[in-house]
Amino acid sequence: MARSRIGGWWCFRARPPRPEPTARANGGAVTCEGSVRRALALLDAVSDGADDEEITPSQIAEVIRDAREAPDLAWAAGGARVQRFLGEALDAVSDGMPADYVAMILYAALGALRESPR
């Protein structure tokens, strides 16, 4: 490691710098996986029937759109497959399908994300 003259931060000379893992993108979710998990949490809150908070389909669709726009999805080997699952989930939300059905599609997207080598 060598100390940079410019910013005073530590860097590796052998490889290019990686994106900042603490940088928040897409409404607070760092990764596509984080956005999918947030959408699943919203769907779980909808399906448990507790009326303590009103969650609208547009809120769920927004989180799914955030997952589709996540910067790490472009790097994933199975990114196109994950995009297809997220698109299906978005269509299911807009068609008014039950929360369990949308969650099933999102779990498939999560599985496809885990299958892709990083």
Ordered by where they begin, the domains of the chain are 23-115 (1.20.120.430)
**Nearest-CA neighbor of 98 among 47, 60, 31?**
47
User: Given a cut of 60, is residue 81 above it in pLDDT?
Assistant: yes
- Report the 10 Å Cβ neighbour count for 72: 16
User: Given a cut of 70, is residue 27 above it in pLDDT?
Assistant: no
**Nearest-CA neighbor of 93 among 68, 67, 113, 64?**
64
- Residue 100 to residue 102: CA distance in whole angstroms: 6
Region 64-93 average pLDDT: 91
Residue 116 β-bridge partners: none
- Read off the pLDDT band of 16 (50, 70, 90): very low
- Residue 30 to residue 40: CA distance in whole angstroms: 16
pLDDT in tens, 45-61: 888 776 656 888 999 99
Q: Could you give the 3-state DSSP secondary structure of residue 4?
A: coil
